[in-house]
Structure 1
Amino acid sequence: MQTPDDRPGRLVELSEDECWELLRSRPVGRVAWSGMHGVSVVPVNFAVDGDAVVLRTTPYSVMARDCAGREVAFEVDAIDEDSRLGWSVVVRGRCEREERATEGVHPWATGSRVLGLRIEVRSLTGRRIVAVDDQRGRGGFLTA
């Protein structure tokens, strides 16, 4: 028998404004692309700059080689495993090199992360898992 805490939530589509707000609320996301080694997904810290997602990497990284000049996806989320609530925002767009390091992005890992990558947002979508009885669709959980 399912208890109220075991019931599956329902998915609610997020507005574009909500997606931008949530995207700006997190310091780490994941870049996904199809490259030389197949499909790859890498966690990165990032910043939002206007209508773009910006990040920094080393000029010799696989991500720098495979992503520049190509379509990529970028995802950020927040999930609470105990409550089974959360949200996810997905960006799709073209990734381009910025020869100088991107301002506002402060790498968490050591190394020469002097190459900026900029994902120009072509598509922005998001979903939130809310409790079945939540009529507002905000879930009261992990909002920015």
Structure 2
Amino acid sequence: MSEDLNDPVEELELETCWELLRTASFGRIAVSFRGEPEITPVNFIAFDNRLLMRTAQGTKLLKLTINDKVALETDSVGAHTAWSVVVKGTARAIESQDEIYEADKLPLHPLIPTLKYVWVEITPTEVSGRRFTLGPEPERY
């Protein structure tokens, strides 16, 4: 971690990004739909160098099917540090019964009690992250 407040941003190594992704469960997924950017909150699980999430039939799944190029960002802000990891990749609905059976074993549960039967896998093409050293709060006038 960068302790130098003159250089408060640290680029994270790939393995550190994956370690942070494995500790996270909530993020935002971005996709372009009809030429407009869309950002949706999702819960996910990082498993085997890919991301998995559940969704229901509807517009989120439709958007991911029309344009499979996505970005997912997750982050955390603490008292003295913050971090952000961004995953860019391709999304696909899992359709194979064997893959669905394996995904159903993972400890991913919806944040809200809605039925989400469709598994979506994001295969990364790029993973990047940064950690920020936070300085003291500025004085307020």
- One fold, TM greater than 0.5? yes
SS of 2:41 mapped into structure 1: strand
Match of 1:116, SS state, is strand
Q: Secondary structure at the match of 2:61?
A: helix
Q: C-alpha separation between the residues in 1 aligned to 2:34 and 2:134?
A: 41
The ranges of structure 1 where at least 4 consecutive aligned residues each deviate by more than 6 angstroms after the TM superposition are none
Query: CA separation in 2, counterparts of 1:24 and 1:43?
Result: 17
RMSD value, Cα: 2.1
Task: Indicate if the aligned counterparts of 2:82 and 2:134 stay in contact, CA closer than 8 A.
Answer: no
Alignment TM-score, normalising by the size of structure 2: 0.78
Q: What is aligned with 1:20? A: 18
- 1:86-110 residue CA offsets vs partner (Å, 9 max, x unmatched): 0000000000001348432211222
Q: Give distance in 1, aligned partners of 2:86 and 2:127.
A: 6
Question: What is the CA distance between 1:111 and its match in structure 2?
Answer: 2.2
Instruction: State whether structure 2 residue 88 is matched by structure 1 residue 92.
Output: yes
Instruction: Please tell me whether residue 125 in structure 1 is matched to residue 123 in structure 2.
Output: no
Q: Count residues with an aligned counterpart.
A: 123
Look up the match of 1:66: 63
Choose the corresponding residue for 1:45, options 34, 43, 46.
43
Letter in 1 for 2:9: L
- Supply the distance in 2 between the matched residues of 1:23 and 1:51 (Cα, whole angstroms): 10
- Please state which structure has a larger fraction of its residues in helix: 2
**Contact in 1 for aligned 2:22/2:47 (Cα 8 Å):** no
Runs of 5+ in structure 2 lacking a partner?
Answer: 136-141
Whole-angstrom CA distance in 2 between matches of 1:94 and 1:110? 27
For 2:93 and 2:26, locate their aligned partners in 1 and report how far apart those are by CA, in whole Å: 19
What aligned pairs does 1:29-44 form with structure 2 within 5 A after superposition? 29-36=27-34, 38-44=36-42
Equivalents in 1 of 2:71, 2:130: separation in Å? Answer: 16
Following TM superposition, by how much is the alpha carbon of 1:75 offset from its aligned partner in structure 2, in angstroms? 0.7
Aligned match of 1:106 in 109, 123, 128? 109
Structure 1 gap segments, 5+ residues each: 1-6, 133-144
Residues 1:131 and 1:79: Cα distance change in structure 2 (over 3 Å): closer
> Identical aligned pairs, as a percentage?
28
Measured in 2, the distance between the counterparts of 1:8 and 1:108 equals 39
With structure 1 as the length reference, what TM-score do the two structures score?
A: 0.76
